[in-house]
Amino acid sequence: MTTLIFLALLLNSPLHAEEAESWLPSLQTQTPEEGFQLALTLARKGVTETQGDPEVLHGERPKYSQDAESLIAASQVVATHFQTIAAANDYWRD
Amino acid sequence: MTTLIFLALLLNSPLHAEEAESWLPSLQTQTPEEGFQLALTLARKGVTETQGDPEVLHGERPKYSQDAESLIAASQVVATHFQTIAAANDYWRD
Amino acid sequence: MTTLIFLALLLNSPLHAEEAESWLPSLQTQTPEEGFQLALTLARKGVTETQGDPEVLHGERPKYSQDAESLIAASQVVATHFQTIAAANDYWRD
Amino acid sequence: MTTLIFLALLLNSPLHAEEAESWLPSLQTQTPEEGFQLALTLARKGVTETQGDPEVLHGERPKYSQDAESLIAASQVVATHFQTIAAANDYWRD
Amino acid sequence: MTTLIFLALLLNSPLHAEEAESWLPSLQTQTPEEGFQLALTLARKGVTETQGDPEVLHGERPKYSQDAESLIAASQVVATHFQTIAAANDYWRD
Amino acid sequence: MTTLIFLALLLNSPLHAEEAESWLPSLQTQTPEEGFQLALTLARKGVTETQGDPEVLHGERPKYSQDAESLIAASQVVATHFQTIAAANDYWRD
C-alpha cells in the first residue's frame, strides 16, 4: 500500500512533466473555431514552456497584453499555429 | 417595418459578445476578396483573444494603427492568415 | 418605391465595403513579375485595411519608407504574399 | 537612325517602369545556388519597390547592412523567398 | 567498473561536441505532444548553435525568459518548427 | 609545380566570387541532423550575402550572438530554412 501511495505521489509530483492525460492528444478539431482555440493553446504553451516560472509569466502578462507590438506578435504566433491546424484538418472542408 | 428595424438594431448591437452562430463557421469564401476580409478577421481575433479587455484594446488601437512598424507587423499577420485561407479555397481556381 | 430607394441607399452606403468591382478578382497572373506586383498590392492592402485613415497612412509613409528595419519588415510581408501567389499559379511552370 | 537612337534611349530611360525584359521571367533555376541568388534578388526587390527613391535606399544601406538585427531580418526575408523558389523547382531533386 | 565509470564520464563530458548518438535521429514522434517537445528542442538548438558559449547563453537566459517580447518571439520559432514536425508526421492522423 | 601552386592560390583567392565547387550543390542530406546543419549554413549565408564586408560581419557577431532578441531572431531564420530542407528530403521518412 505504501508503495502504491508512493507511486501515486511520484507520478503526480510536479517534478514529472508527463501528465496522466496529454494536453495535446490530437490536432483534429470539429470546427474551424475550435481549431483557432487550439492555436491559441499552442501559442500560449510555447511561452509557458520557454518560461517555466508562473510568477514571471504572470508578471509579464500585463505588459505584453497591453502593448500593441506584443499583441500583434502574439497574433502572429497564433496565425502560424492555426495554419498548421487548418492543414491538419484539411481545412474542415466537407 | 418596426420589427425589421428592431431586428437590424439587435443584430448590429455590440452588446452581444456571444453570438448564437460561430464567428468562424468555415474557411470557404466565394472570392479572394472575401478571403482577404476573413484573414483580417482572423488577425484581429488573435489580438482580441490575447487581450480580452475591450478598454485596453481600444486604448491600444490608436497607438498601433498610427505606428509604421506596428502597421507592417499587423499586415504580416494578415498575410499568414490569407495564406491559410487561400490554400483552404484551393486558391479560388476555377 | 420608397422601399427600393431605401434599399439602394442602404447597399451603397459607405458603411458597405462591397464595391462594384473587386480589387482582388483572382490570384492568377500571367507572369511571375505580375505575381510579385500583386504581392505588393496585398501587402499594402493589409496596411490600409488596418489603418483606414488616409491622412495617418500618408503621414506614416515617409517614416517607414525611410527606415531600414521597416523596409525589411515590409519586404517580409511581400515575401509571404508572393509565396501564396506563386503556389496559386503553380509557380508559373510551363 | 535618329528614331532608333531615340527608341533605345526611351526604352532604357529610368522613367519607364516597364522594361523590355522582365526582371523575373521565371522561378526556375538550374541549381540550388542559383535559387538562393534569386531569393536574394526577390528580397531586395521587395525593399526597392517599397522605397522607390534610390537616394533614400543608398542612404539606408550602410545602416541596415551594419546592424545585427537588420542583417538577421534581411536573412529571414531571403529564407522565405528561398522556400518559395525551392518548392517551385521541386527542390532540385534529380 | 572503473572503465565503465570512465566511459560514462567521457560520453557525458561537454568537451566532446560529437556525441555517439545523434541529437536529432528522426522527425517522427508518437504523439503531437512529443512533437511539440521536439519543436522546443529544435528552437533551442538554433539558439545554442548560433551562440556556442554556454556562459553567454546562460547569461542571456534570464533576460529573454523574463521579457514579454522575447518570450513571444521564442514561441514563434517553436511554432515554425512544430509546423515542420506536424507535416513530417502527417499530423498524427490515424 | 609553380603553376599548380599559382592555380591553388587563384582558386582560393577571395577575389573570385565563383568557386570551383558550389557551396550549395544540393538540399539533400542523409540525416535530419545534417539537414539542421545545412539550415544553419543557409541562415548564415543570407547574412553574409547582405553584408559582404567580413570586417563588419565580425564586428557585429559579438553583438548579435550575445543579445537574446537577436539569438531568437537568428533561430527563426534557421527554422524557416530547416522547414524547406525537411520538405526537400521528404522529412527523412524511411
The cell for A84 is 498548421
B62 contacts chain A (CB < 8 A): no
Q: Is C10 exposed, middle or buried (0-12, 13-18, 19+ CB in 10 A)?
A: exposed
Q: What integer best gives the mean pLDDT of chain B? A: 80
Q: In residues, how long is chain B?
A: 94
Buried b (16+ CB within 10 A) or exposed e, A46-84: bbebbbeeeeebeebeeebbbbbbbbbbbbbbbbbbbbb
Phi-psi label, residue D66: left if phi above 0, alpha if psi -120 to 50, beta otherwise: alpha
pLDDT level of residue B42 (50, 70, 90 thresholds): very high
Q: For residue range F31-45, list pLDDT tens digits in order.
A: 999 999 999 999 999
Interface contact D87-F83, CB threshold 8 A:
no
Question: Which whole number is the average pLDDT over D43-67?
Answer: 75
Q: Give, in degrees to the nearest 5, the angle at Cα F25 between D86 and F75.
A: 60
Q: What is the pLDDT of residues C25-80, one digit of tens each?
A: 999 999 999 999 999 999 999 988 887 677 777 776 656 566 888 899 999 999 99
pLDDT higher than 80, residue F47: yes
Contact A48/B at CB under 8 A: no
Q: Is the torsion defined by CA of E35, B80, A90, B41 positive or negative?
A: positive
Q: Would you call D65 and F49 a contact, using CB atoms and an 8 Å cutoff?
A: no
In the DSSP assignment, the letter for residue F90 is G
What stretch of H or E contains A14? none
CB D35 within 8 A of CB D79: no
Which position has the higher pLDDT, F27 or A49? F27
Percentage above 90 pLDDT, chain E: 49
Nearest CA in chain B to A37: B49
C-alpha R_g of chain F: 17
Cell of D47: 525593399
Residues D57-75 have pLDDT tens digits of 777 665 656 688 889 999 9
C-beta atoms of D69 and F74 within 8 A: no
Contacts across the C-D interface (CB distance below 8 Å): 94
Digitized pLDDT (tens) for each residue of chain E, 94 residues in all: 555 555 545 444 444 444 458 899 999 999 999 999 999 999 999 988 887 677 777 776 656 566 888 899 999 999 999 999 999 999 999 7
* Chain D residue with the nearest C-alpha to that of C94: D26
Contact C91 D47 (CB under 8 A): no
Q: What are the sequence ranges of the domains in chain B? A: 3-92
Cβ neighbours of A92 in B, within 8 Å = 26-27
Q: Kindly determine whether residue F86 and residue E84, on different chains, have CB atoms separated by under 8 Å.
A: yes
Residue-level pLDDT, tens digit, chain A, 94 residues = 555 555 545 444 444 444 458 899 999 999 999 999 999 999 999 988 887 677 777 776 656 566 888 899 999 999 999 999 999 999 999 7
- Put simply, the answer to whether A45 touches E36 (Cβ < 8 Å) is yes
**Given an 8 Å threshold on Cβ–Cβ distance, is F92 in contact with E27?**
yes
| DSSP letter string, E35-54 | HHHHHHHHHHHHHHHH---H
The CA distance from F39 to the nearest CA of chain D, in Å, is 10
Residues in chain D: 94
> Residue E84: closest CA among chain F residues belongs to which residue?
F83
Q: B3 at the A interface (CB within 8 A)? A: no
Which uninterrupted H or E stretch holds B34?
helix B32-50
State the nearest Cα–Cα gap between E88 and chain A, in angstroms.
11
What gap in Å lies between CA D65 and CA E48, rounded to an integer?
24
Chains sharing 3 or more CB pairs under 8 A with chain B: A, C
Task: Grade residue B12 by pLDDT with cuts at 50, 70 and 90.
Answer: very low
Chain A CB within 8 Å of residue B75 CB: no
C-alpha cell, E73: 518571439
pTM for the model? 0.79
The whole-angstrom separation of Cα E47 and Cα F72 is: 6
Nearest to F60 by CA among D47, D72, E54, E55: D72
Judged by a CB distance cut-off of 8 A, whether residue E74 touches chain F is yes
Higher-confidence residue: D68 or B32? B32
pLDDT at E8 (0 to 100) = 46
Q: CA of F11 to nearest chain D CA: how many angstroms apart?
A: 18
The shortest CB-CB distance from C80 to any of D25, D56, D80 is to D80
Region B21-30 average pLDDT = 94
- Chain F residue numbers with beta carbons less than 8 Å from the beta carbon of E70 are 68-69, 72
| pLDDT at D94 (0 to 100) | 79
Three cell numbers written together for E3: 572503465
User: Is the pLDDT higher at F63 or at A21?
Assistant: A21
Average pLDDT over residues D9-27: 65
Cβ-Cβ contacts under 8 Å, D45 against chain C:
36
What pLDDT sits at residue E61? 65
Q: What is the pLDDT of residue F12?
A: 47
Give the residue, F87 or E62, on which the prediction is more confident.
F87
Q: How confident is the model at residue B27 (pLDDT cuts 50, 70, 90)?
A: very high
Structural contact between residues C78 and C40, judged by C-beta atoms closer than 8 angstroms: yes
